[in-house]
Amino acid sequence: MHGSTITDEDRRPLVISVAGGCDDGGMTDTGLITSLRATRFFLDHAVPPEDIEAIVDVARWTGSARNRQPWRFVAVNDRGVRAGLARLGQYAQVLAHAPTVLLLLSGPDRSQDTEFDLGRVCQSLLLAAHARSLGSCPVSLYPEDNAYAAARLVGLCAPWRADHAIALGRPAPAPPGRSAIPTGRKPVRELLTHFRA
């Protein structure tokens, strides 16, 4: 926790089972990043607490402004709470269907960098889950009142708020039909300019 003593045990990086640069068909580190997709269909079993802890153990090494580590996480399996969370964002229904939801919370030590920091730690969580073959989908909880309502659903009062949550679970096959959300990515030539004076 922020402000507590860091032990050597805390410094030990947790090795995730991703084969980097191997020639045995394993996923490379780059492949881990580029193969991450949003999962919105899940098998019914909750993610074991040990898996959640292992994912957070990786993600807690994410950098943050002034090393504030402004994030906290609450894992939710309870069906009723998940249904409540699913009502707190326009596109949050997946939270009711995923077996486990990880709420991303910020609270008293918010700064202008907190949302950026939370975005970074969210991506770390998604990649750590992906490395363990878990599917995930980040979800926005809004407007602002809903972010506070989400925190209250897990027993935390203002200033605690959860602007985002992650749906987590073992992926199930997606039913046939096209997603309303465009897929694919913009090409590098559209995204990158080499500035030359």
- Which residues of the shown chain bind ligand FMN in the complex (CB under 6 A)? 37-38, 40, 89, 91-92, 94, 137-140, 181, 183
**Residues 183, 40 contacting (CB under 8 angstroms):** no
- Please, what is the minimum distance in Å from the beta carbon of residue 58 to ligand FMN? 19
Which of 126/154 has CB closer to ligand FMN?
Answer: 126
- Please, what is the minimum distance in Å from the beta carbon of residue 164 to ligand FMN? 6
Which of 35/49 has CB closer to ligand FMN?
Answer: 35
Which of 73/197 has CB closer to ligand FMN?
Answer: 73
- Please, what is the minimum distance in Å from the beta carbon of residue 45 to ligand FMN? 21
- Please, what is the minimum distance in Å from the beta carbon of residue 194 to ligand FMN? 27
Which of 75/122 has CB closer to ligand FMN?
Answer: 122
